[in-house]
Amino acid sequence: MTIRDGALVLADGSVFEGELFGADPAGGVTTGEVVFNTVMSGYQEVISDPSYAGQIITFTTAHLGNYGVTTSDDEAPRVHCRGVVLREMARRHSNWRAEGSLDAYLAAAGVAAIGGVDTRRLTRVLRDTGAMPGAFGDASIDDLTAAARAAHGTDGQDLVSRVTCAESSVVPGAPGRRIVAVDCGIKATIVRCLADSVGEVVVVPSSTSATDILALGPDGVFLSNGPGDPAAVAGVADTVRELLGRVPVFGICMGHQLLATALGGSTFKLPFGHHGGNHPVRDLESGRVEITSQNHNYCVDLTGVADVATTHVNLNDGTLEGFRSTRHPAFGIQHHPEAGPGPHDARYLFDRFADLIDAGR
């Protein structure tokens, strides 16, 4: 492992010294919106989640890389996050599943990282000030400050078009149902859960029209997670609007936000987002409290929207975590029931989608 001195600078001027490893970024500087994630394990799944496109991920857990990496834990064919910030990188990994080190994984993926950072102080800054652009590398503090202040956050950014698949693919699944999954940045674990619990999955690009989706003969349509500002995503909400009432719809994360938009709702950016595997959510219809995996910067506002019912609420801050349409067979969930990584308390939601499809037959 080759280590070099470097620094991370936030757009507000906060400076954090550290050590650089992973890939060498173009120009020696990595920029992006800095967020923090509180998971204790599952770093590979987080790093490979397409929802982190445009962002630099700060891990609050003290050590990363201790159990290495394996290709079976990748959530996407390539890594889309801009960079990784951590407290300490393990010098050796040990796990029977490991195929290599996290450092080598990042280098091969073209992702830069900075370790030795006081991530507790960094997290407090982001918690108090909000997610903001940052820059890290081996440049001067002045150059890093200028790069951080010139960098863009996720506001107004359509990042879905950058991460969606280029062509359709089919994943065999449980017999009897066909699901068309609109890829806004879909995770591999979500595809597996849909195939195991619901049926055959046809993954299509986010630009696919409602006419082309219906031509595939779906029993249900799934709207996936994805990165960036849902208000800036072109076309998908209009497509969903055409599908409502014609086929059952289920959305997760970005898909939840786009479904809400199609129904007349709006979205707003949270101060520092929800990123972690320990968020308590109440299912209002059962009264059950679930510990959930979450990764989103934006939240849905259904104020004034008719024919919707709130189904799930975040117990940390009271924000909306789930809703269903009372007019159409459609529902959305803000958190990640596939939980890669994270607890599996909410995986029943895939069965709920199957039941919704069957109820309409």
Sign of CA dihedral 24, 25, 30, 36: negative
The C-alpha atoms of residue 105 and residue 62 are separated, in whole angstroms, by 19
Regarding beta strands 200-205 and 169-171, do their DSSP bridges make them parallel or antiparallel, or are they unpaired?
Answer: antiparallel
Active-site annotation holds for 253: yes
Chain position carrying tokens 């086929």? 247
List CB contacts of 287: < 8 A, sequence separation 6 or more: none
Active-site annotation holds for 152: no
- Residue from 93, 253, 274, 279 carrying the catalytic annotation: 253
The C-alpha atoms of residue 136 and residue 7 are separated, in whole angstroms, by 5
List CB contacts of 322: < 8 A, sequence separation 6 or more: 256, 281, 283, 310, 311, 312, 313, 331, 332, 333, 334, 335
- Number of alpha carbons in the 13 Å side-chain half-sphere of residue 211: 0
Yes or no: say if 320 and 302 are a contact pair by the CB < 8 Å rule. yes
- Residue from 33, 200, 321, 338 carrying the catalytic annotation: 338
Q: b/e per residue, 190-217, with b = 16+ CB within 10 A?
A: bbebbbebbbbbbbbbbebebeebeeee
H or E segment to which residue 15 belongs: strand 15-22
Yes or no: say if 346 and 292 are a contact pair by the CB < 8 Å rule. yes
Active-site annotation holds for 338: yes
Preceding peptide of 341 cis, ω within 30°: yes
List CB contacts of 169: < 8 A, sequence separation 6 or more: 202, 203
Burial degree of 19 (CB within 10 A; 0-12, 13-18, 19+) = middle
The C-alpha atoms of residue 195 and residue 189 are separated, in whole angstroms, by 10
361 is written with which tokens?
């037959």
- Residue from 275, 279, 335, 336 carrying the catalytic annotation: 336
Chain position carrying tokens 């080598």? 104
The residues that are catalytic are 253, 336, 338
